[in-house]
Amino acid sequence: MQTLENGVKVPTNGDPYQLTADLASAFKSANLTVPVANVAARDALTKYDGLAVRRLDVTGRPTETWDGAGWTRSAVITSAPVTPDGLWTINGAYLKTVVTGLAQVTATLQLVRTGPAMLINTADTVLTSSIVPAGFRPSANAFFAGTVNTNLGVYNSTPQLVINTDGILVGRSTSGGSVSLGTGYTLFISVSWYI
């Protein structure tokens, strides 16, 4: 047998003919990902360092790899487009990364006000309808500072922003007064939360 540069073992011309054993050796050394129906099917495999399985019973079909001591799961990454809102033009997306049951959502958004002017006061002011799709919404309010600018590029007071558990964007002024958001005003948002 010889080992190719990619690690696959294949017979040489001088090797005795053993088709079944040669094929088994070649395919095992190829490190192919093995689809498994569940944990029991995964655990029934003969384990070796680097054995990779695709879990068909887990959302996102993650890959799990045996490292000689246990199974490690690759991240499952999904995305969702923004939900439109009639008073804002919204660009961006949501990205959800799940590693061993822990999910982190990252939102990168640009909202341009197309509706009438509105004031963000020191109390909570609802800025949008629910813009975060189900399955991506925070399990507790996600607080962050947003950058606000006018259509002229002038920066105004920065409001505190909240994406609540219903996926609604809420703002409150931190300057002690109101922050006015007129037509053409833009919010830039980049925030992460766990769900």
The residue-averaged pLDDT of 45-65 equals 88
The residue-averaged pLDDT of 54-69 equals 88
pLDDT digits 0-9 by tens, 126-149: 888 888 888 899 999 888 876 655
**Listed residue (123, 127, 126) closest to 114, CA to CA:** 127
Q: What is the pLDDT of residue 49?
A: 87
Tell me if 80 sits within 8 A of 136, measured CB to CB. yes
Please name the residues in contact with 114: beta carbons below 8 A apart, sequence gap of 6 or more: 87, 88, 89, 183
State the chain's mean pLDDT as an integer: 83
**CA 133 – CA 82 distance, rounded (Å):** 8
Q: Where do the domains of the chain lie, and which CATH numbers do they carry?
A: 2-74 (no CATH), 78-194 (2.60.40.2460)
Pairing type for strands 34-36 and 52-55 reads parallel
Strand partners, 104: 97, 194
**Model-level pTM?**
0.63
Q: What is the pLDDT of residue 155?
A: 45
